[in-house]
Amino acid sequence: MSRQAKLMTTGSIQGHIIRFAIPISLGNLFQQLYNTADSVVVGNFLGKEALAAITSCGSLIFLLVGLVQGIFVGAGVVISTYYGAGDLKAVNKAIHTTIAFSLCSCVALTILGYFFAPVILGWMGTPPNVFDDAKTYVQVFFLGISALILYNTAAGILQAVGDSKHPLYFLIVAALLNVVLDVLFVGVFKMGIEGTAFATIISQSVSVFLSFRLLFKSDDIFKVEIRQIGFKKGMLPKILRMGIPSGIQNSVTSFANVVVQSSVNLFGAAAMAGTGAFMRIQGFSFIPITSFALAMTTFTGQNIGAKEYDRVKKGVRFGVTFAIILAEAIGILLFLYADVLVALFNRDPSIIIYGVQKSHISSLFLFALALSHVMSGLFRGAGKSIVPMAVMFAFWCVFRVLYIKIGLLFLMDIRVVYWAHPITWLLSATVFTIYYFKADWINHKKSL
């Protein structure tokens, strides 16, 4: 693929965004199959306690990896901005620095996750009948966390230069393999909850192999050479300056979601399983949201680098509108068919009731989540990553935690917890919209 074919600084704005977002959407679809396949197999073969264990670990895992993944977002902004400006030498330096940082992160997260994740499970108030399974799953998962980190690194590099198709191809292979291994390890070999973690690790490792094989063998701008992997002078500070705010945003949001999960845990295994099952389902609605958010980050980064500010403004109008429509359409379907979808995980009536309650409270507010994420992608691409960090910290962390803690003091009802997400989505969406229309921030963008 030629450089010109991947540039988003000329040609149809809508065409560029859609062509970039569709492969990411399909990739996210298959990525979501990882989690969903694990949960469906566990819920049907191992029961509701095991289902509660595996679904309750998501917020904890992202709490520990969110900071690093946010820094990778910063790396993508740096790469895409240099790419849009035509500074290919700087692109090369940024790519090799990103990989060096990724390798260091693999070591740190493996150690941190294996030893500290069980401690955090205890802090979350994980019930005794769920704790052992949750501990087993999360420790095995973190032993293989390098595969997740390295895949996200390679995919981020490719997406930053406009190639969203190859990450899709590699995810399709890995997701299909994961489904097969889930059934084989849990259903046939009776490996229990460990089997789901091993299936994910092996599948993700295949996607890592395919991704880095492309990076090493390609003659394109994203070509990687082993001897050049290292921290290039002056590049890591630029990546960290762009990425740390996004990482902090991920971490504080994840911390708040750990509090949400610990509050759900108060209501027992059925509540954990039902809520967790629906959250797996709701993850499919995040697909167009995250896809258009990433498309906006890359599109904005390249066009800011090329000083095409009017294209950025036109692009955000299209991206926000399209993401909102898609997310809300999915939300309506989730609202109508939540009982059928939750039953795929486990047919226990109490589990289904909790899942349906969660759906009926949050599904119709997905437009606010879409607006918040796409605006965040826009601001990050423009180098304004402090803005989404501050807004998310204020509403998705501080306000969300205070709301839950105070709300449960007055009414010990799980619906109080369920309302935490839509309320904070609406607040952040409102602030982002006001900032976008009031601040003339695009025309004051400083170069890297």
Cβ neighbours of residue 111 closer than 8 Å, sequence gap 6 or more? none
Total length of the chain: 448
pLDDT in tens, 150-191: 988 998 898 888 787 888 889 888 888 988 898 899 888 888
**What secondary structure does DSSP assign to 174-209, as a single string?**
HHHHHHHHHIIIIIIS--THHHHHHHHHHHHHHHHH
C-beta of residue 129 within 8 angstroms of C-beta of residue 49? yes
For residues 285 and 327, is the Cβ–Cβ distance under 8 A? yes
User: What angle (nearest 5°) sits at the alpha carbon of residue 165, between those of residues 159 and 168?
Assistant: 95
pLDDT attached to residue 381: 80
Q: What sign does the dihedral 107-108-112-113 (CA atoms) show?
A: negative
Predicted confidence at residue 149, as pLDDT, reads 92
All structural domains of the chain with their residue ranges: 15-444
pLDDT of residue 26: 79
Q: How far apart are the first and last CA of the chain?
A: 26
| HSE, side-chain direction, 13 A CA sphere, residue 147 | 22
Q: Which residues of 385-404 are buried (b: 16+ CB within 10 A; e: fewer)?
A: bbbbbebbbbbbbebbbebb
**Residue-by-residue DSSP string for 388-439:** HHHHHIIIIIIIHHHHHHHHHHH---HHHHHTHHHHHHHHHHHHHHHHHHH-
What pLDDT is stored for residue 243 in this prediction? 82
Residue numbers in the chain where pLDDT is lower than 50: 1-5, 445-448
**What is the pTM assigned to this prediction?**
0.73
DSSP class of residue 285? T
Amino acid identity of 422?
Answer: P
Q: At a CB cut-off of 8 Å and minimum separation 6, what does 148 contact?
A: 65, 204
Angle at 363 between CA 316 and CA 436, to 5 degrees: 25
Nearest 10 degrees: CA dihedral of 365, 367, 372, 373?
110
Could you tell me where the DSSP H helices lie in 46-144?
48-55, 58-85, 88-123, 128-143
Q: What is the pLDDT of residues 199-246, one digit of tens each?
A: 889 998 999 999 999 999 988 888 899 999 999 988 999 888 888 887
167, 164, 163, 149: which is closest to 100 by C-alpha?
A: 149
Query: Count of H helices and E strands in the chain?
Result: 19, 0
Q: Report pLDDT for 168.
A: 82
CA pseudo-torsion sign 70, 37, 175, 204: positive
